[in-house]
Amino acid sequence: MTADEARITNSTCGTIIATRARFAVKRAERRRGLLNRDSIEPGEALVFPRCRQVHMFGMKFPIDVLFLDRESGAVRCVRELAPGHLSPWVRRARTAIELPAGTLEATDTH
């Protein structure tokens, strides 16, 4: 893990959701997201602070998306969001975490 990466844990059941989470804070990082990639590896995550919805326009692979509230509690889990689709707009969300498809189920995150 590098200095600009973090670990994400499901504190309710103690499972590790991601071991290499990067934060998309700068405008260019947020615009680029996971575009131009062929996949996201197990253990990886991309965290978007101040985010209530994500889109999959231009993406090549499905992902799981975890939306968190101000207290970092899960408020919505979107499993297998397909390329070309838009996630629901989650009013209570303050952060969106993009994960490899299947991660939410594998870590019992809901």
- State pLDDT tens for residues 60-72: 999 999 999 999 9
pLDDT at 87: 98
State what percent of residues in the chain have pLDDT above 70: 96
Residue located via tokens 């993009």? 98
Domain boundaries, the chain: 5-106
Q: Are 5 and 20 in contact (CB under 8 A)?
A: yes
57 φψ region: left (φ > 0), alpha (ψ -120 to 50), beta (else): beta
User: Does the pLDDT at position 3 exceed 70?
Assistant: no
- CATH code given to domain 5-106: 2.60.120.1140
pLDDT band at 2 (very low <50, low <70, confident <90, very high): low
Residue located via tokens 């968190």? 68
